Each structure stands twice: as C-alpha cells, then as structure tokens.
Structure 1
Amino acid sequence: MNYFLFAICVGFATYLQGLTGFAFALVLLTLSSLLQLASVGDAANAATVLGLLNAIVYLRAHPLTPQWRVVLPALPGGLVGVGFGVLLLGWLSSNAVQLLGLMLGATIIACAALLLVQQRTRASMSMPLSYGVAGALSGLLGGLFSAAGPPLVFHMYRQPLPQEAIRQCLFVAVAVNSLVRLILVLAVGRFSREALLLSLCAVPIVYGVSRVQRRFPLRVGSIQIRRFVALLLMLAGAVLLVHGAR
C-alpha cells in the first residue's frame, strides 16, 4: 500500500512540476512525510531519481534553449552546495532524526513563504555573482532534501526573461544538481534498496503524467499556480513541525 500511495504522490508532484518548473521534490517529500511512507533520506533519494527523469522527459519534449548566461553562473555554487547537503543529511540521519524532521518542516515553510513574496521583475539582469549565491543555496537544499528549486526560483522569476526561458533554466539547473546528488549518494553507499523500489514503482507515473500533461496542458497563470503550491507547502510544513516537536 505504501508504494501505491507513494506513486499517487509522485503523480501529483509531477503535475505541479510540469506547471511551474519546480516543487517536485518539496511536494513529494511533504506528502511522503505526512503519510509516513518512507524515511526522509529514502524519499529524498527517490525524488532525486524521479526528478532527474522528469527533467529528461520535459527537455526531450521541448527545444532546449535555456539562457546559458543565467544557468552557467549558478552551477558551480550549486555543486558545492549539493556535496555539503549530502554530507549533512548523512550525519543528521544517523545522529539526529528528529532534528532532520524539524529541519524539513522549517525548510518547507521558509520555501513556501519565499514563493509567496510578491516579486517585481527587474529592469535589467542581475549580476552573475547573485546567480552563484542562489545556486549554492539551492544546491544545499538539493543535497539535503533533493529540493533544489526555491532559492533559484525566487531569483530567476525576478529576471526580465520570458517565463518559458525561466522554466527551462530551472529544469536544467535542477537536473544537473539531481545528477550530481545521485552520483554522490551512490558513491557513499546511501542509496538503499527501499529508495530503489520507490523509484522503480513511480517511474511509469512520471512518464505517464508528463505525457498527458503535454497533450492536455492546463491554461492557468503561473502566479496562481505558485500561490497554490506555496500555500499547500506552508500548511504541510506546519503540520510536520507540530508532529516533529512532539
């Protein structure tokens, strides 16, 4: 039953990812933790595999034309952040499981609040260093919870770029972080059999939902979608905090 419920959560997270270009791992980890379907580490590892697959499916169906001047400055800091986040997750999983749960809840609320902030589009592009900082913060969250989106999302949506270009930049950055994270957790032996089974049972869901969504796109404004996702995450994060504090 856990695998069936996990697959349903994956389908929901995949649909939101297709609408926004982010939120897959945050939504999946939130639902998985609330329903107690898997440990944070196993759910994060499964989210890494599935998020990478989701990005590949999306990018295969859309011409790859990201703004490389925006993506490339964000990648080095992201890779460093991913490495540190994976190490921190390993230590917390072994020594402070309750603290890890509280950190997940607090991270979800903080990310949700960040997404709710009204963002004004800048008149000109930000300096390259700012993308590096946003990339490093995203990488840290990616290493910890495979949730590399929010800091970079917040920064990217302030740039004077078309929304499709922003979405593609986010997909590329998250895919690179996910690939590096997967290599690291495999190298240090932290990818369990349970994470593998969760990933395998959900692969057809990611592919199927992505295909259906591409064929029958939902015409909803990105601002409305972002607010819905943020409110959902904020509520779920509060529940996780209350549960973890008991």
Structure 2
Amino acid sequence: MSLQVHLLFLFCVALATVAQCLTGFAFGLILIGLVAILQLLPLGEVAVVISFLTLGNALTMVAGPKPQLEGCILRPLLASSLLGVCLGIWGLGGLDGKQITWLRLLLGVLILLASLLLVVQGTPRKRLAGTPSFWLAGGLCVLLNGLFSSGGPPIVYHLYRQPLGHELIRNTLITVFACNAVMRLGLVVGQGQLSLSTLGLSAEALPLVMLLSWLIRRYPPRLSLRTVRWLVFVLLVLAGLSLIGEALPALLALYQG
C-alpha cells in the first residue's frame, strides 16, 4: 500500500468515527462505503478491521466511571442479539441467491420508510415502549446482520423513537454493536481467517479512532437531539439506498439471464 492509500484510509476512518461518536452507529456503513467507492482495500479485510475499531471506539466512549446506560433497555437488546446471530446464520444457509437478493431489496425499502417516519414523526414517543419491543429490535438487528451485514437500522430507529436522552441512546448503540463485534471477531479467529495485514491496518487506525472518540467524549459538540435525528435520517437513507443499489442490478441480471 502506498502512503496515499494509507492516508486516504485514515481519513475515511476519521469520518466514520465522528459519525459513530455522534449517533452511536454507522461506523461500518460509512467506512465500507468510502473504501468501496475509493477502491482502497479488499472489503472482506476491511470488515474485520471494522470490528477491531468498533471495540476501540466503545472502550473510549463507554468505558469509564458510570457510563450512562439503562439495564432494562440494554439487557433485552444484548440477549436477543445472541439468538439473532444463530437465526441469521441459519437463515442465510436456507435461502438461495434470488431470495436473498429480494430480501435485500425489501430491507432497503423498509429502511427508507423507517428513516422517513423518523423525521416526519418529529417528536419521540411520550412513553417508553415495552420490553418485548426491545427484544424484537435486538433480534431483528442481529438477524439482519447475519443475513446482510446491515443490522443496525431496526435498533437505531427503535431507540431514536423513544423518549430517551441522546447520550443514553448513543451509549446503548455503541455497547450493542461492540458486543456484536466481539462475536464476529471470535468467529474470524476460530476459523483462522485473521491475517497479519488485517492486524496491521487495525493497529494503524486504532490510535486515531480512540483519540477522536476521547476528544468528542471530552469536548462534545453542542448538537440538539433534533439535529442528531436528522443526521441519523441521512445515514439511514444512505444505508437503504446502498442495499437497493446492490439488489436491483443483481435482480435484473437474474431475470435477464
């Protein structure tokens, strides 16, 4: 890799880190998207690097004395994520390529609709949703992660619709996705797919992620919850459009063939 490629990669990491620190999600979405557009690195390798960097971001943003978290919200999301991983892997093995492509298109459309509802319904719910809804959101999150590696939108939408503070929502999202990253890394290591180049890229970007995360935690920008919700809307739209953009050409190719 040339120096220019390294610098561009670190710039992409910095943008993804800032978005993650402000909203609690979108690190992988932004980094994968930018790397794909710029054709910097193999996406399979970047996906593993993202897991390492997500953990670094979580340790900096959430670790420490009394991070703002609520067990009644976090516990069902984490517990259902374990079941979601199993269902996602099982579901992926039971579907053919055409069915997965149709589901990817459907997921993209649903994410776009959810993003529109998030801004059209300008105020959050007046009362916190029941515990079963958090179980469902967590299960959908990791089920979709297992099927499409795009599990964030259901839980993001659900939490940003609740009458909760921005810091609590962000910390909950960061914690859940960090736990998912641990599970993904465990699978990668167990399958012997962790390469030295992946470790090198992770070690190169990790100090930048932790420094930016610390700075944003120490000196948080003065953004209103409404502004953050609009930022979440934009990121959800990008996620939905990327899924639709991947699915439509594949479906056209399948039916023309």
Q: TM-score range by the shorter chain?
A: 0.7 to 0.9
Superposed, which structure 2 residues align to 1:91-106 within 5 Å?
A: 103=104
Look up the SS of the partner of 2:222 in the other structure: coil
Specify the alignment match of 2:14 in structure 1: 11
What runs of 5+ residues in structure 1 fail to find an aligned partner? none
Pairwise CA distance, 1:123: 3.0
Map 1:193-208 to 2 at 5 A.
193-208=196-211
- Distance (whole Å) between structure 2 residues aligned to residue 137 and residue 70 of structure 1: 15
Q: Are 1:66 and 2:64 an aligned pair?
A: no
How far does residue 54 in structure 1 lie from its aligned partner after superposition? Answer: 0.4
Task: Name the TM-score, length of structure 2 as normaliser.
Answer: 0.76
2:131 aligned partner: 128
Q: CA deviation at 1:113?
A: 4.9
- Name the CA distance, whole Å, in 2 between partners of 1:116 and 1:89: 28
Give the Å deviation of 1:139.
1.2
Alignment of 1:154-233 (within 5 A): 154-231=157-234
Quick check: 2:23–2:232 contact (8 Å CA) kept in 1?
A: no
Alignment of 1:73-112 (within 5 A): 73-85=76-88, 103=104, 111=111
Contact 1:78 1:138 in 2 (8 A): yes
Gaps of 5+ in 2: 251-257
Q: CA deviation at 1:13?
A: 0.8
Could you tell me whether the CA contact under 8 Å between 2:124 and 2:162 is conserved in 1? yes
Q: CA shift at 1:235, angstroms?
A: 5.0
1:111-154 per-residue CA deviation (whole Å, 9 max, x = no partner) reads 46533423442333222221111101211344466654321111
Secondary structure of 1:122's aligned partner = coil
**Residue pair 1:122, 1:158 contacting (<8 A) in 2 also:** yes
Report SS of the residue matched to 2:62: helix
Amino acid at match of 1:10: V
**1:40 to 2:47 alignment:** no
Secondary structure (helix, strand or coil) at the match of 2:63 reads helix
Q: Is the CA contact 1:26–1:108 (under 8 Å) kept in the aligned structure 2?
A: no
Distance 1:243-1:21 versus aligned 2 partners, 3 A rule: closer
Matched positions, count: 240
Identity of aligned residues (%): 37
RMSD: 3.4
Q: 1:127, 1:237 → 2: CA distance?
A: 27
Aligned to 2:23: 20
TM-score, scaled relative to structure 1: 0.79
Structure whose alpha-carbon radius of gyration is higher:
2
Q: Which shows bigger deviation, 225-234 or 178-187? A: 225-234
